[in-house]
Every structure is written in structure tokens, then in C-alpha cells.
Structure 1
Amino acid sequence: MTEPLAKKNKARAFQPSWTEDYGFVYVKDRAVCTLCYDNVVCRTSSIKRHFETKHDKTYKDPAERAEAVKRAVARYGKQSSSLKVFVNSQGHVTEASYNLASCIAKHGKPFTDGEYVKEAFLSCAETLFDDLPNKDTIKTRIKDMPTSARTVQRRIDEMAVDVRAQQTKGLTDASVFSLALDESVDVNDIPRLAFRSLLEEMDSEYADLPLHSAVRWLSCGKVLERFVSCIDAIKVFLAEKGQQYPQLEDEKWIVKLFFLADITGHLYELNLRLQGAGQTVMDMFETWTAFVAKLAVFSGDIASSTFRYFRHLREWSSQRNISTAEIAEYMRELETEFTNRFVDFKSSPLWVTKFAELRKQLESTPVQQHGAYILACWTSAPEKFGCLKSIALALLSVFGSTYLCEQVFSHMKSVLSPIRSRLTTDNSESCLQLKVTNYKPQIRKLSKEKQGQGSH
């Protein structure tokens, strides 16, 4: 039975001579007549019968017949090539429209900005591509790109669905994951919200600061730093205006002011280190531990009146003697406050008990065998220390702060601005998700699934 099947397949294989003799081309397992575009089974008898039945009377002269077949085959090839180019160009145009919609969502812009971007692009293309031979082709592609508000909205919704699918798969495949949850109950225009809004307007990297001031974008430390640096000029200015502030002449008050400027500067640096996305709880714990250690050094610096880490106090004390008793007491209270704030986290046995067994085993082995033993332990970690690895992954998955939640609140305010009051819940959710997610929508996959449709 194998031999007859092979003969059948060979008989139905497309023969190049059919193109030259009868004007047939091979398309998707079928022979297509380029003269009338009918489909015929790949068999010599069928092809010959088709030509003799439909075209033999039209082309009786052999030379005329050969010329007609040649022209028909060439015309079909040109049409197929043009169609392929059109389909490819439409695919590129569709993919470009997805990229444009993604950019609009990432920047929290209205759907109608798509037309504005196209207009700007076409305006630039007049001169930007003026020296290129395919300038008109480029402009045509730009014009064909669908950028209407409705199209941009659909693209954003589709990309959000794709991102959610990726996220769901990621959560399903993950061995552990954590959630960062926060809530906003502030509805009044209080200083904290005003401060956040100001940071948003300035496109600040940070959504908020744990220690903040309602004075412009400056932190408390920067405000005090500026005030202390200008204190002599401030005294002169107030004297000229006839305003009296006895505190500015009180040396004890001045010492406290200078100390406050210095210590707030250190707290400001801590704030910066604790801000930002992507920090694990371990990163933040290490930052906090390092700062607590610094506080002990600062206390010793104050007690010895060296003021190595307190620049303003050092400059002030170089001209006069100052009492540090009250400042030293404050430093002790500050150190106690920082230590107590994370006492539960620090005292948790989770950090040490899981390593106790390994340490005991290492101590019971000769020193020269430690390297080999450690290597053997970590080589067999998946089987022997599965619990330990799970704990490590769980710790690494914990969010260090609610920084991302604060960012979402800020972005939500931008997306749900009064000028976008017609957004539906689904639309706003899609816009917000694409704005804050780290997942990349599979634009090429989506564009291939979408039938190309030019701008209209």
C-alpha cells in the first residue's frame, strides 16, 4: 500500500511545466489558473482538461497562446507581490498604532492625543525625511496609522487584558508572592495632599516623603539648611524692617536650631535611601540598621563636643563654648525611638534559627573541610534546604514599603482628572494598569491577531 500512495503523491506534485504550458501556479496545495483564477487539482489531466475547455478556443495560435500565458503569469506574480507588501505594511501600521497607544497610556494622556501626535509627526516628516527617496512612502504609512480616540481606547483595553493575563500567569507560576496594600482616606486639600500634588507636577521621582514640609518642594532639612546659612542676613533684614525676634539673639535657641538643621539633614539622607521602587524589606532593614549604628556615633560625637558630623554646630562652637547636655539627651531619645520602632522585626528568630543547624555542623567539622562542606550543602540546597530556600524567597518577595501604593494614588489622580470625566471604570482601570505596570504588553502578538485597518 505504500508504493501506490507514493505514486499518487508524486502524480499530484506541482509540475513547473504546467506554468509554462498552461499558465498555472501553485498556491496552497492547489493549482491556480492565472488566466481565470480557477482552482484545479494538481493533476496533469485535470489541468489540461481545464485549459482545453475554457481557454483553448481563445488562444488557438501557439505563439499567441504562449504570449498570453506569459503575460498572465507575470500579472499574477505582480499582484501577489503587491498584496504581500500591502499586508506587511498594514501589519507594521497596526503595530505602530499599538505602540502609540501604549505611550499615551504610560504618560496618562487623553485618547484624543493620538490624532495630535499623528499631526505633529506628519508636520515633522515634511522636513525630517526630505532628503530620503522614500519620503512619500513614509508619509503614507504615517497617514495610514489608525489614531482615532476610539482606536486608541480599544488598543489600551486590549493591552491591559494582555498584561493582566501575563500577571495572572506570573502569580500562578510563582512559589510565593506578596501584596502591598494601602488606603487613602484624605479627601480635603490638606498640606499632605498639596505636597504630593506638587511632587506630581514636578515629575518628582518620589511620591511623598515620610518627613515633609508644605513649603514648596524643599524638605525640612533643606529649609533649615537655607535658613541657617542665611541667618546673619535675616537678622540684618529684620532689623531694617524694625521687627524683633528675641530667639535670634538667644544662644541656647541658636544652638538648638543649628543642631536641628544638622540632624534633620541626616534624616533627609535616610529618607532618600528609603524611597524608590524595587527595594526589598532586607534592603530597607539594612539601611535602617546602618542608620541606627550612625546614631550611636553621632551621640558620641555630641558627647565629646567634636561635632565632626554636625557642621553648623562645629562652626558655631569654634567661636564660643556651648552646652551639649540637652542635645545629648535628645540624641539618646532619638536612638531609643529608632531602636524601639523595629524591635519586633529585629528580635524575630526567623533571621537566625534557620541557620543554626548549618552553623553547628560547620563548627563540628575540621576547618580544612569547611570549603568542601559548604559547597556540598549549597549544591544539595534544593533537596536539603528546601524550607530555607522557601523562606528566603518569601522574605525577598516582601515589599519594603508602600511606596508603590503611594505612586498608584498619584497616578490615579492624574488619570481621573476632571478633563477625563467620560472615562468608564474599565477604561480608567486599563489606563492605570498600563501606566504603573512593569509588564510589557505583547504588542507584536496583538497586532498580528488584529486585522489591519487603515486610518479613516
Structure 2
Amino acid sequence: MAEPQIKKSRLSDHGSGRSFQEVWTEKYGVVESNGKALCLLCHVTVVSRTWNVKRHFETNHRWLLEKNEEERKEYIFHQLQEKKHEPNIFLKFLKVPTNLTSASFCIAHSIAQHGKALNEGEFIKETLLKCAPLLFQDMINKDAIIQRISDLPVSRNTIKDNMMTMIFDVQQQLIGDLNQCQFFSICLDETADITSSARLAVITRFYNGQTMREELVKLEKMPISTSGYEICNVVIKIFNDLGIDISKVVSVLTNGAPNMAGNNGGFVKLFMESIGHPVVPFHCNIHQEVLCANLGVNELQDVLTTVTKIVNLIASRPFQKQEFVVLLQEVELTYSGRLMHNNLRWLSRGKVLEIFVHCYEEIKSFIENKNIEQFPQLSDVEWASNLMFFTDLSVHMNELNLKLQGFGKSIDITLGYVKAFETKLQIFKRDVETKTYKYFPRLKKYFDEVNSGGQNEMEPLLVKYLHILNSIIDQFGERFNKFRSLEQTFKIIKYPDVVVYTAMDLDDFQWLPIEELELQLAEFQSSNWTTVFVDLRSQLEDLERNCQLNEESYSEQEILNAWSRIPDSFSALKVLAMALLTIFHSTYSCETLFSALNNIRVDNRSRNLLTEDLSDACMGLRCTKYIPSISELTIKSQE
């Protein structure tokens, strides 16, 4: 009786030994076919025993052993993808859960969003595997979880492929939205990346039926020296290649360079000729403010030159004094370890100037005691007075500069900031004229210290300061003239119930379907729909009063919500309001994008493997607000 039991046991062992194990597919590149193991790499069948499968792999595909485990898995996976349509062969393997692929997409997306190197996926996986035994030790299926993590495909090439797949999906979403929207505006800016390659960024702003979006259309490599003709040809080709109707552009915002905004051969003029209708041309208002400030304070450039030298001197030596620590921390924050340079962007140094003035006496003592370098300016009353005035003025200019920065700010909001600052400039001027110095506290304190309250000796300086303020006032009046010419037109965004039709400048909008605007406006202003905007303005006042976070974004969304409630019988009003809301106010989006581009290149340049398309994909995924359709992409990857 014992004999049959022994035979049964042996048969059972024999059967289990010949059963196909799914782990072989990933490890040795075989799949189940008619009860045997079929090699993906050479199409030879092997007995379904671990020893036979392993011997076949090590004998016939030894070259794969030279690769690491992740590379072997990836190669086998690609072989599967190429051959999986062959009948009855790969059905077993395809039952592996697709959530591994989805998770791989998620990791690639996170790596791109944070500007990390492509091989960070392997680091993430290694970290998960190290902490998993502790994290899941009280779970019954701990081993299965750890195995699933181990199976996660996160090699550099997999992450790269996932990024390229996701950026294509994001681009298709953008193309779909741009083709569906009625019109959009574009923003253009140029830069040289870390490889000294010239890049042209084309960003679009449009209404997708729910909210305003700002998205990168293309980051194009350009010759170092580009003419308006070349830029125009490139921009039109970009949109044509994507199948987007370029004639829907309402406004173009540029950095104001001659090749962009010049009257002879500038991009904007050529672009309007190409699309056959006018657009609203704007020069970035942040650039405009900087230019206004630079031209206004030309007489004080020696102050910045000296401050720059002293700060760099301090930054080059170790100090323990708390005042210097704070100063150096601000320099590090502003310049990321680089020395301060005396260029036109002095507005970015506002905080540094503030701290410099705060520890002015300590700096004087340090320079005198160490006898490192002579700076007689520090003891010169006129130079020090100029420093105090310059610092106070830069604080005010910085406040406007910060307000003009950021995403999602409509043109009417930023116009309000500029108008308010122009009024403030008149107040600053009167403050100096009356010698009150309420808005120049550092200057007042210094005058009180060196002149004991009597300020007759300071009259020549006051004349200079008034001249500077007048110059800035004149520059604002000249450079923001285009904004002012459309001020009454912008009122339709929030004040359609009171705006005067004849006061609006509509020359650049006549190509839009607004033929009935005058009649519809008259009807609207006599209807009950006006209460929508009375309520809107009340809501916006509450937002401003409560100083809510990102109040500009909330304000814009409230405006969009209000207009969405207005019936289509007032279509001309809605068209004009939405067209105005698409207009860019600054190249801030481009500046942010260029920063992301350079950071991505810095992270990966040592590998010398990052292609142009891949770097753009990394940057595009980092900057977009679109979410890749990972579920759909996972399904497609299995087809």
C-alpha cells in the first residue's frame, strides 16, 4: 500500500516542477506556450523547469548577464512589446497587473515636475525597498507588496520613454483646447540656455470654458542672432505644424526688443501682416518698470557700483557677526552663490540694499579696521545720502515689481497697480518737496543725524532727488501709454454696466464678432443683468479687504464666473471681455520657464545624455497645469 503513495508523491512533485512560473518571464525572458517555456529572445522552447530555463538563458544569452538587473528587465519588456501580437504566446504574461506601468508613469511625472535627474527613479525604488519591510511588517501581504515594488520599472530609459509619452499627451490636450477656444493671446521671449543655445519660448493664454490657462506651446531652438522675419516664420510654422489656427491671436506680448517690436522688420508688425488682422501689441510691463527705474536713477549708478564691490568683498570672507550673516544670507538667496553684479536689474537687490543700510555703521567699521580696501564714499555725506534715497526708492519700486510678477493676473488688475504707483510717485515727489520724508525714512534718519535738523546744506541733493522722481514719472507716462489708451476698453471686464461705448478704443478688435456691441451694450445696461457685476465688484472688494492668498487668481476666476452667467444674447460683450482677459501683462511665464529649463539642464548635463526633445519634455511636464492621462496611457502601452 505504501508503494502507490510514493508514486503519487513523486508524480505530484514532478508536476509542480514542470509548471510555468511567471517570474521566469522577467528574469529569463521566457513565456508559457503549450505547457513549455518559450524564449522571447530566440523562439526556442525549453522544459518548464527552473534549472533548464536558467541554463538556456545563461548559455545562449550570456551577453544579457553583463547588464544590471533593471536593464535586463527593460530589454525583455521591450521584446515582449514588439512580439506580443503573435497568437497564443504572451497571453499569460499580459495578465500581469497594469498598475506597475501606471506607477512608473507617476514616478516619471514626479521626477519631471521636480526637475530631478532621470535616474532618480532607481533611487526612489531602492529607498522604497529598504523601508518596505519596516513599513509593511504588520501586513499579511507584506511579501507581495515588496515584490510589487521590486517589479516596478523605473530605469532611466523607462523614465525617459514615459516622459516622452506624457508630454505628447499633454500637447494633444493643449492642441484640443486651442482648437476649441474662440481666440487666444501669445507671449514670446528669448534667452540663451546653459549650453549657450538661443531659445524662443512661445506661451499661450486662453479661456477653456472654465478658467484662464497659460501653457507653453513650444520652446524652439534659434540662431543666436534672430531677425523679426526669422521669428515670424518660426512662430507661424510652430502653430501650423500643430494644426492650430494662428489667426485667432488677439494680442502679442514681447520683451520689447527691436527684432520683436521694431517698426521696421519687427516680429509684431510682420505677424499682423501674415495673419491679416491687427493684434494688441504689448511690451512686458515688468520690463517697462525696470526701464523706467533705470533711466530715472542713472545719476545714482555710482552708489550701486560701490555697494556691489563692498558686498562682494564681504561675501568673499567668513564672518561671524550676525548683521553680516543676514546680509550674506540674502545675497545667497538672491544670487544662488554667485557674486552680485552691477547690471540693469538693480531692482532685484532691494532687500540687499535694505540690509546693507541696516548694518551700515558695522560695514564702515569693518572696512576701516581691516584696511582691506579704501572706500572713502562710506564717509561722504552726499554719497551716503544718495544711498539712503536710493534704498528708500528701491523699496517702493520693489513693491510694484512684486505685484507685477506671478501667474494668472489679468491685464486690468496689473493696469490698476501701475496707475496706483503713478499716483504714489506724485506723493513721493510732494514728500521730498515739503521735506517731510514720510516715505523716505532712511533718508530722513540720515539727514537728522548729519545735519541736526537743519537741512539747508541738503538743498542741492533735494534738487537732484526731485529731478530723479520727475524722470521716473515721465518714463511711466511714456512707456505705459499703450495701457492707458485701452483703459476705458478694459473697463468692460468689470464695469460693463457703466462703461461708455464711445470712450472705448476698439481699433484692434474689429476683426472679432462684435458688430452688435453698441446695441447689445445699450440693452445690457438697461437690464437686470447689471446686478451680476455690482455683486461681482462687492465680492472683489471683500477679497481685497480680507487679503486672501492669491487674491488676483481668485479675482480673475470670479470675473469669469460672472461672465459665464450672462446669456448669449449679449455675445458681443462676452467676446470682447474674454478677449481682453486673454491678454498677457508680462513675460513672467517665460522667465519662470527659462529658469526651469536651466535647472533641468544643470541636473543632467554631467550625463551628457539629455537630448533637446527630452529636456523640453522634462521642462514641459514641470511647467504645465495639464495632468497626463495616465490611465489611458497605461492601456495604450499594453496594446
- Deviation at 1:102? 0.8
2:354 to 225, 228, 231: 225
Are 2:190 and 1:183 equivalent residues in the alignment? yes
**Cα distance in 2 for residues equivalent to 1:336 and 1:166:** 45
Q: Which has the higher contact order (CA 8 A, sep 6+)?
A: 1
**For residue 124 of structure 1, what is the aligned residue in structure 2?**
131
The within-5 A match list for 1:47-446 is 90-185=97-192, 216=331, 217-218=333-334, 219-241=348-370, 245-318=375-448, 319-322=452-455, 323=459, 324-348=462-486, 350-351=489-490, 355-357=499-501, 372=528, 374=530, 382-417=567-602, 418-446=605-633
Local SS of the residue matching 1:450:
helix
Larger Rg: 1
1:100-154 CA distance string (max 9 Å, x none): 1111122233332222211111101121222333221221221122112222222
Instruction: Tell me: CA distance 1:119–1:372, structure 2 relative to 1, closer, same or farther (3 Å).
Output: closer
**Cα distance in 2 for residues equivalent to 1:245 and 1:150:** 57
CA contact (8 A) 1:177 1:397 kept: yes
CA contact (8 A) 2:194 2:598 kept: no
- Deviation at 1:370? 6.4
Moved more, 373-382 or 225-234: 373-382
**Cα distance in 2 for residues equivalent to 1:105 and 1:220:** 31
**Cα distance in 2 for residues equivalent to 1:375 and 1:164:** 40
Q: Flag structure 2 segments of 5+ consecutive residues without an equivalent.
A: 1-92, 197-285, 295-303, 313-330, 335-347, 504-517, 534-562
CA contact (8 A) 1:106 1:436 kept: yes
**Cα distance in 2 for residues equivalent to 1:153 and 1:247:** 56
The one-letter amino acid of 1:278's match is: G
Moved more, 252-261 or 312-321: 312-321
**Cα distance in 1 for residues equivalent to 2:421 and 2:622:** 34
Instruction: Tell me: CA distance 1:410–1:379, structure 2 relative to 1, closer, same or farther (3 Å).
Output: closer
1:223-280 CA distance string (max 9 Å, x none): 2222222222233333334565443333333222211110111112222212222223
**Cα distance in 2 for residues equivalent to 1:325 and 1:403:** 36
- Deviation at 1:376? 10
Instruction: Tell me: CA distance 1:241–1:186, structure 2 relative to 1, closer, same or farther (3 Å).
Output: same
Local SS of the residue matching 1:400:
coil
Identity of aligned residues (%): 34
CA contact (8 A) 1:281 1:401 kept: no
**Cα distance in 2 for residues equivalent to 1:157 and 1:188:** 22
1:294-325 CA distance string (max 9 Å, x none): 11111122222222211112323444333333
How many residue pairs match? The answer is: 349
1:391-411 CA distance string (max 9 Å, x none): 211111112211121222222
More strand as a share of residues: 2
- Deviation at 1:91? 2.3
C-alpha root-mean-square deviation of aligned residues, in Å?
3.8
The one-letter amino acid of 1:265's match is: V
CA contact (8 A) 2:412 2:490 kept: no
Local SS of the residue matching 1:183:
strand
The one-letter amino acid of 1:272's match is: L
Q: TM-score, normalised by structure 2?
A: 0.49
**Cα distance in 1 for residues equivalent to 2:138 and 2:436:** 69
Q: Flag structure 1 segments of 5+ consecutive residues without an equivalent.
A: 1-85, 190-206
Instruction: Tell me: CA distance 1:187–1:255, structure 2 relative to 1, closer, same or farther (3 Å).
Output: same
CA contact (8 A) 1:283 1:400 kept: no
1:338-374 CA distance string (max 9 Å, x none): 2221012202363469832499999x99xxx967473
Local SS of the residue matching 1:181:
strand
**Cα distance in 1 for residues equivalent to 2:391 and 2:441:** 9
- Deviation at 1:448? 2.8
- Deviation at 1:186? 7.7
The one-letter amino acid of 1:236's match is: S
1:143-194 CA distance string (max 9 Å, x none): 12211222222211111111111111010111111111111258899xxxxx
**Cα distance in 2 for residues equivalent to 1:220 and 1:186:** 23
Instruction: Tell me: CA distance 1:145–1:448, structure 2 relative to 1, closer, same or farther (3 Å).
Output: same
Moved more, 216-225 or 270-279: 216-225
The one-letter amino acid of 1:400's match is: H
The within-5 A match list for 1:37-48 is none
1:190-215 CA distance string (max 9 Å, x none): xxxxxxxxxxxxxxxxx999589986
**Cα distance in 2 for residues equivalent to 1:413 and 1:165:** 25
Instruction: Tell me: CA distance 1:320–1:239, structure 2 relative to 1, closer, same or farther (3 Å).
Output: farther
